[in-house]
Amino acid sequence: MSSEAGSDGSKPDRSGTEWGDRARAGLARLVEASAFERALISLAALVLSIAIGALVILAAGRTATCETAATTYFGYGFCYDPFRVYDRLFLGALGNPINPLFDPLHGNFAAPFTEGWTPFNDRLAYTLTETTVLVLTGLSVAVAFKAGIFNIGTQGQMVIGGLASTLVMLALVPVFTGLATVALLPIGIVVGAVFGGLYGAIPGALKAYADANEVITTIMLNFVASSVALYLVREQFKDPDSFSTKTNDLPAGVEFPQLLYAQNTAFSVVALLFVLALVAATYYLLRHTSFGYDLRTSGLQAAAAEYGGVNSARTIVASMTISGALAGIGGTVYVLMYYGYFQPPVPSYGFDGITVAILAGNNPVGVVPAAFLFGVLKSGAISIQTDPNVTIPIQLVGVLRGLIILFVAMPEFFRLVGKRFTDAGRRSREGGSRVADAVRSDGGVAGGETDE
Amino acid sequence: MSEATADAGSGESTLGNTDGRLLIAGGVVGAFALLFVVGTLFPDSTVGTLSYLLLQPGPWSSMLTLAVPITLAAVGGIFAEKSGVINIGLEGLLIISAFTAIFAADTTGSLWVGFGAAILASVLLALVFAVVCIEFRADQIIAGLAIWLIALGFAPFAARIVYGSPNTVSLTNSVPAVRHAGIPVVSPVFQTLSTTNALGPAQALFRASPSVYLMFGVVALGWYLLNRTNFGMWVRASGENPKALDTSGVNVHRVRYAAVLLSGVFAGMGGAALSYNIGQFTGSGQTMVNGKGFIAIVAYLFGNYNPVGAMLSTFLFTLLEAIQNPLQTAGIGVPSDLIGTLPYIGVIVVLALVGRTRIPEAAGDHYETGEDR
């Protein structure tokens, strides 16, 4: 039954590879879970990752050599203390708001907040700078995932967008002199969006019209983007006055205005507000426009959407273009906030964006807290580095990132655990998953072996 | 009824794929022929230099060496995907085994122990992936990405702890080429053949390190296992029609576990071969694996799940990489950054031309045995 819908529609109608279809079925399953359940699963995944991360820290602490043990458990000394590592990681990223003397468990009721702590400290500024870029890359991935497309290429789209906007802005500097310099900023953002969007449209078109699997093409395009960027900056547009491989500096006026936070920090509240406005716009686009409806139904039920008159090829290309455009803006914002010039390689915001989007359940609004969490992890990694008492390598954050994705990918695990605790909960959830299965088999997913 | 329509659909797409493959294979052969003809006619031109280079054993030697990790991972990936589990985490398996090989060999001083430890590490990570996918019904693509990201974070993390930098130390001992290994009879014969100029590029076949012959062995073994044994039949059935396999009394989950763990074994060999070849693990950026696991996936898709086909398509990609250095030395002026993108662009072009491969019917789907409900 189900395969008929796919086969008589012949090739061009089938949106993408069979891999894609199966992936979409998986995504559909993820989306079926209610927003509350999703949030719960994300939270549980986070807690579990932190717990396993603690074991990794302890194990690493046994392997490493140090003069004095940082902590002792069960008679064994460990070089790294997970509590201290996580303390630095999470509280360090906020600028140490908690007074170390505040310890209600041991009867010390000092003031809970560190004296002189304000939310405008430099550490938190860095956290929020990271968050600003991560919201954009997370949003980029989430839009594509919503349409059922695994855009792993946000990193490459970000590189291309950031480089293109930098080069165009630099080229236009002689034209926009004096007060007109201000105009370069919006131009740069538009150029970043256009180039990122075009670079995203390539795998979109390959998927829509040549059935090329987007997971592979986007990963390959990431490698191409970083090599091309390195070549262009090194051989064609290198700053002649600098030893490092970077472009010329943008003029002083081309930046997001800085308010509230110190001038020496990279963070700009204006940039964050601009990004949050993009979040709202994306939410509106997905929820309240007919295009957004097409996009979401294609992601949930490609065949059903097709039957309902959605041009799936065009939807794929369009959603990949939007996804790429958001990534391109991310690259531009990164360049403008941090350095004011482009220097390869660009840190892995694109890959972190995947984690952010998966953690957020591909919900544009959920991307904001998820991005903040990763902003905390990245900023906390630096506060670990600067603390002489904690010597753990910051690559730990990469391990945590992988663990979080792994656990978010297996909601079934948490449901099984949940079942053990609540019998009533089991019945209602199982009913729910049955319905989801039924919907899935009607949707023309090839190979209905999982259904009974 | 649905069987019939599904078959018709797959027959059609298989035909389309064969066309795409033949087109590329024919294109490659044609390009080589043209290259040599033009090269012979105009020996001083760029094409002449290129065809001269391709008649030397050097590029072919590096092509074989570069192909080892990709082919081994690809053969592993074939087993996993044929059984119904798309293992997109091959990249992660290569990373973890490349690091473990150097770490264990450096600690124990034995290359053999390092080789075994690399396989063990890769199998353990594959086991995590298998449990998550088979037991907890995780989405295979996302879980595969997680495996990649975990290894991408963990290997440099461990290297930092042990060696103080994302890169390990260089091993003092290395795997000798077979012709230098001092094996009675074999080594002298290989030594003679590897310097017989009459053989032309084929000399490369006798200059290789043992890992290249391991690759040939694994490809042959993989093909035999998959097509000529009961286990291979179960693997294929588990991916195409798990219900039938279940009905005939074979445990589908067990077959899938075996297939995914086997992908861990082969990828582990590949990772060890990769880092042994350099003698060091480099963990900065995308690590030394640098996308080889993903190229492996493309290689087996393009090779239509045939280990031999996967190896040949790997050669296509690695020859593009192998020709880079000689071209640079010969002064043919294309910047190395740009030539470096050729294999990746090649992958994209191949995917675009071949398009959809007929993947196993039930790949990506979770299979629930009857008793559980």
Q: Which helix (H) or strand (E) holds A76?
A: strand A76-78
Query: What pLDDT sits at residue A330?
Result: 96
| C-alpha span between B141 and B143 (Å, rounded) | 5
Q: What is the mean pLDDT of chain A?
A: 80
Q: What is the pLDDT of residues B219-239, one digit of tens each?
A: 999 999 999 999 999 999 999
CB contact under 8 A, A398 and B297: no
> Which residue has 């395969």 as its token pair?
A3
Q: What is the pLDDT of residues B96-142, one digit of tens each?
A: 999 999 999 999 989 999 999 999 999 999 999 999 999 888 888 88
Minimal Cβ distance to A409: which of B142, B242, B359: B142
Interface test with B, best of A227, A374, A404, A452 (most B CBs within 10 A): A227
Which residues of chain A neighbour B136 with C-beta distances below 8 Å? Answer: 410, 412-413, 416
Query: What pLDDT sits at residue B18?
Result: 60
- Lowest mean pLDDT: which of A300-314, B118-132, B244-258, B323-337? B323-337
DSSP A72: E
Which residues of chain A neighbour B338 with C-beta distances below 8 Å? Answer: 227-228, 231
Nearest-Cα residue of chain A relative to residue B336? A231
Residue A14 has pLDDT above 70, yes or no: no
| C-alpha span between A385 and A237 (Å, rounded) | 33
Backbone angles phi, psi at B178, to 5 degrees: -55, -40
If one looks up domain A122-386 in CATH, what number appears? 1.10.3470
Interface test with A, best of B149, B300, B336, B361 (most A CBs within 10 A): B149
Using DSSP, how many helices (H) and how many strands (E) does chain A show?
A: 19, 2
CB contact under 8 A, A25 and B364: yes
Q: What is the pLDDT of residues B26-77, one digit of tens each?
A: 877 888 788 778 877 777 777 777 777 788 888 899 999 999 999 999 999 9
Query: What pLDDT sits at residue B204?
Result: 81
CA-CA-CA-CA torsion sign (A442, A443, A449, B3): positive
The answer to whether B127 faces chain A, any CB pair under 8 Å, is no
Calculate mean pLDDT across residues A88-113: 74
Asked if residues A237 and A343 have their Cβ atoms less than 8 Å apart, the reply is: no
Nearest-Cα residue of chain A relative to residue B358? A18
Question: What ipTM was estimated for this complex?
Answer: 0.82
Q: List the structure tokens of B286.
A: 């995308």
| C-alpha span between B38 and B45 (Å, rounded) | 9
Tell me which residues of chain B, numbers 317 to 336, contact chain A at a CB-CB cutoff of 8 Å: 335
| C-alpha span between B207 and B198 (Å, rounded) | 15
Q: What is the pLDDT of residues A195-220, one digit of tens each?
A: 999 999 999 999 998 888 888 889 88
Cα B309 to chain centroid, rounded:
11
Q: Which helix (H) or strand (E) holds A320?
A: helix A312-338
Q: What is the pLDDT of residues A47-97, one digit of tens each?
A: 999 999 999 888 888 777 776 777 777 777 788 888 888 888 888 888 777
For the ranges A142-156, A293-307, A409-423, the one whose mean pLDDT is highest: A142-156
CB contact under 8 A, B344 and A220: yes
Q: List the structure tokens of A144.
A: 């594509």
| pTM: predicted TM-score of the whole model, two decimal places | 0.81
CA separation, residue B353 to residues A112, B155, B314 (Å): 63, 35, 16
Query: What pLDDT sits at residue A268?
Result: 84
The answer to whether B291 faces chain A, any CB pair under 8 Å, is yes
Q: What percent of chain A has pLDDT over 90?
A: 28
- Lowest mean pLDDT: which of A286-290, A346-350, A435-439? A435-439
Residue B373 has pLDDT above 50, yes or no: no
Domains of chain B: 56-372 (1.10.3470)
Minimal Cβ distance to B337: which of A1, A23, A230: A230
* Residues in contact with A171: Cβ distance below 8 Å, sequence separation at least 6, in sequence order: none
The answer to whether B143 faces chain A, any CB pair under 8 Å, is yes
Residue B247 has pLDDT above 60, yes or no: yes
* Residues in contact with A120: Cβ distance below 8 Å, sequence separation at least 6, in sequence order: A260, A261, A262
Asked whether the bond before B307 is cis by omega within 30 degrees of 0, the reply is: no
User: What is the full DSSP assignment across A243-254?
Assistant: SSS--PPPPTT-
**Domains in chain A: boundaries:** 122-386
Which residues of chain B neighbour A399 with C-beta distances below 8 Å? Answer: 150, 153-154, 157
| C-alpha span between A15 and A319 (Å, rounded) | 13
The answer to whether B109 faces chain A, any CB pair under 8 Å, is no
Query: What pLDDT sits at residue A449?
Result: 38
Which residues of chain B neighbour A8 with C-beta distances below 8 Å? Answer: 5
